[in-house]
Amino acid sequence: MMRVEIHVLQNVAPANLNRDDTNSPKDAIFGGYRRARLSSQSQKRAVRLFFKNAKLKDVKPKDDKPKDDKLFSPEDLAVRTRLLLNEKIVPALVEQGRDPEEARKAGAALLELMKKKNSGFLDEEGKTKYLLFLGNREIEQLINLAVEHYDELAKGKLSKATSEAIPDAFKEILNGGKAIDLALFGRMLADRAEWNVDAAAQVAHAISTHKVEREFDFYTAVDDLSPEDETGAGMMGDVEFYSATFYRYTNLDLGKLLENLQGDADLAARGTEAFLRAFVETLPSGKQNTFAAHNPPDLVYVVVREGAPRNLANAFVKPVWAGREDLVHASAKALDDYTQKLNKAYGDTSSKALVLNLSTYKPRHLGQEVETFADLVNEVMAEVRKALEV
Q: What is the pLDDT of residues 29-49, one digit of tens each?
A: 999 999 999 999 999 999 999
Instruction: Give the model's pLDDT for residue 59.
Output: 40
Encode the chain (390 residues) as per-residue pLDDT tens digits.
799 999 999 999 988 899 888 888 999 999 999 999 999 999 999 999 999 887 765 444 445 544 456 788 899 999 999 999 999 999 999 999 999 999 999 999 999 988 876 667 888 899 998 899 999 999 999 999 999 999 999 998 999 999 999 999 999 999 999 999 999 999 998 778 899 999 999 999 999 999 998 878 776 677 777 777 776 677 777 778 889 999 999 999 999 999 999 999 999 999 999 999 999 999 999 888 888 889 999 999 999 998 899 999 999 999 999 888 999 999 999 999 999 999 999 999 999 999 999 999 999 999 999 999 999 999 999 999 999 988
Q: Where are the domains of the chain?
A: 3-64+200-211+247-388, 78-178
In this prediction, residue 239 carries a pLDDT of 79
Side chain identity, residue 207? I
pLDDT recorded at residue 118 = 61
Closest CA to 151 of 187, 208, 106: 106
**pLDDT given at position 57:** 59
Indicate whether this model's pTM tops 0.75. yes
